[in-house]
Amino acid sequence: MSDSESMTGSSTESTTEPADYRCGTVALLGRPNVGKSTLMNRIVGAKVAIVTPKPQTTRHRILGIHTDDVCQIAFVDTPGIHRGDKQLNHNMVRIAYAAAEEADVLVIMQDVSRSLDRPTRALIERFADGRLQQPRLHVLNKVDGIARASLLPRLAETQRLDPDAAAYIPISARKGEQVDAFVQAVARQLPQGPAIYDAEWYTDQSQRQLAAEYVREQVFLAMQQEIPFQTAVEIEAFAEDEAGISIEAMILVGSERHKPMLIGKGGERMKKIGTMARKGLKELFGCPVDLRLWVKVQPDWFDNPGRLQDLGLGA
């Protein structure tokens, strides 16, 4: 497989599905850290979206494809909808709303282990206002973190805020509780039509894109506070041969003071980031991976529209 290829192959239309087969795109929407990426990865059965406890881990549209005997669902994982004063923040939110406009079905997720705060209420009401006509499903995630008795009031309040939604489904994406029921509920809302992707596809991301995301995941997990937001990963070289895959990646930081913090004493933090990213990529690609990392200071890259476009983070 070449670097320019996705992890899946080329799109195709199948002629073997039943007449009532359903296929469409589903936008996963919500505030940061509600579990959108975790849910998509579980359904797809592969890690196509990185997951960390840090806000704004997902920065761009990520496609994850589920195919079975009755439907094909192209899930679009979107950045968490949030407020922020940087150009990157604005771009991420625009990406999420653009995905909603283009999808066949909208899934609005919330984290029930947290209180139903004003931003979450506003988000639910925004999608319930009728401007978008697609069917909506509400997913109440992380039910494994609350008492069952507290779930019913949360369901009732969500129904009050959006009484015309197609379904309200409590799940635990992390544990897989009610995820199959969620997939079935989504499938019922899809338009009828043949599959548009080969059944073996699970994402449209290239190996190069996946490599950048796996490295960025380890940066996020290793760093604290504002530093993860002010880092990005750019793949400078990607080559594949009979020995495996070799990758050269540049980690961008937004300030000179962040560079030594990222590298760590004696290079230990950078070594750990590389070791963990290499391990994940080896499992993903199924072959040895030679990963080399560098750190480069590029002040305010996250507020530079041209640089964001170069990094695939334009809107």
Two tokens at 42? 């579980």
Q: Which of 199, 201, 208 is nearest to 8 (CA)?
A: 201
| pTM for the predicted model, two decimal places | 0.89
pLDDT of residue 185: 98
The average pLDDT across 156-170 equals 98
Two tokens at 162? 């959006």
Express each pLDDT in 65-102 by its tens digit: 999 999 999 999 999 998 888 899 899 999 999 999 99
- Confidence at 13, pLDDT banded by 50, 70, 90: very low
The average pLDDT across 174-202 equals 96
Express each pLDDT in 259-272 by its tens digit: 999 999 999 999 99
Measured distance CA(275)–CA(254) in Å, rounded:
23
Tell whether the model's pLDDT for residue 32 goes beyond 50: yes
- Confidence at 53, pLDDT banded by 50, 70, 90: confident
Tell whether the model's pLDDT for residue 286 goes beyond 60: yes
What percentage of the chain carries pLDDT values higher than 70? 94
Two tokens at 21? 């087969």
The average pLDDT across 139-166 equals 95
Please give the DSSP secondary-structure letter assigned to residue 143: G
pLDDT of residue 133: 94
Report long-range pairs for 160-166 (Cβ below 8 Å, ≥24 apart): 161/121, 161/124, 161/125, 161/128, 162/108, 162/124, 162/125, 162/127, 162/128, 162/136, 162/138, 163/128, 164/128, 164/136, 165/128, 165/135, 165/136, 165/137, 165/138, 166/135, 166/136, 166/137
The average pLDDT across 107-112 equals 98
Least confident stretch, 2-11, 19-28, 121-130, 149-158? 2-11
Tell whether the model's pLDDT for residue 241 goes beyond 80: yes
Burial class (CB in 10 A: 0-12, 13-18, 19+), 82: middle
Estimate to the nearest angstrom the gap between the alpha carbon of 77 and the chain centroid: 4
Q: Which domains does the chain have, with CATH numbers?
A: 22-189 (3.40.50.300), 207-310 (3.30.300.20)
pLDDT of residue 183: 98
Tell whether the model's pLDDT for residue 107 goes beyond 50: yes
Tell whether the model's pLDDT for residue 43 goes beyond 60: yes
Greatest mean pLDDT range, 126-135, 175-184, 223-232: 175-184
Tell whether the model's pLDDT for residue 48 goes beyond 60: yes
Residue with the bigger pLDDT between 18 and 237: it is 237
Share the mean pLDDT of the chain: 91
- Confidence at 1, pLDDT banded by 50, 70, 90: very low
Measured distance CA(168)–CA(73) in Å, rounded:
19
